[in-house]
Amino acid sequence: RSTKRRRVGPQGCNVFVLHLPREWGDKALAEAFRPFGPLHSATVYKDRATGLSRCFGFVSYMDATAAALAVANLDGMQIGPRRLKVSLKEKRGQS
């Protein structure tokens, strides 16, 4: 878990991002996702003990259209040896 509290956008505006490059922080994540609409927040989760990226994060947009556009454009994008896995965040308990 991150040591800081993640700011969450409205329902349908929150995007889960997996397979982030280890060197990415919050700023790099925000820069990659900002072209699709105004951001509420962008957070890369880090290991508490080491401070290293856990290679996943969340991006929250101000509106659902921007979130859907980001998912459509960035899911599967190749960055280095990995492909991003980008999806709308599901409510806890959903699968």
Instruction: Say how far residue 68 (Cα) sits from the centre of its chain.
Output: 13
Nearest to 44 by CA among 19, 63, 69: 19
CA angle 84, 40, 37 (to 5 degrees): 65
Threshold 0.95, pTM exceeds? no
DSSP lists the bridge partners of residue 42 as: 59
**What is the percentage of the chain residues whose pLDDT exceeds 70?**
85
Confidence of residue 80 (pLDDT cuts 50, 70, 90): confident
Instruction: For residue 69, give the 3-state DSSP assignment.
Output: helix
**pLDDT over threshold 60, residue 69:** yes
Average pLDDT, the chain: 89
pLDDT of 26 reads 97
- For residue 66, give both structure tokens: 């921007």
pLDDT of 75 reads 98
Instruction: Say how far residue 3 (Cα) sits from the centre of its chain.
Output: 16
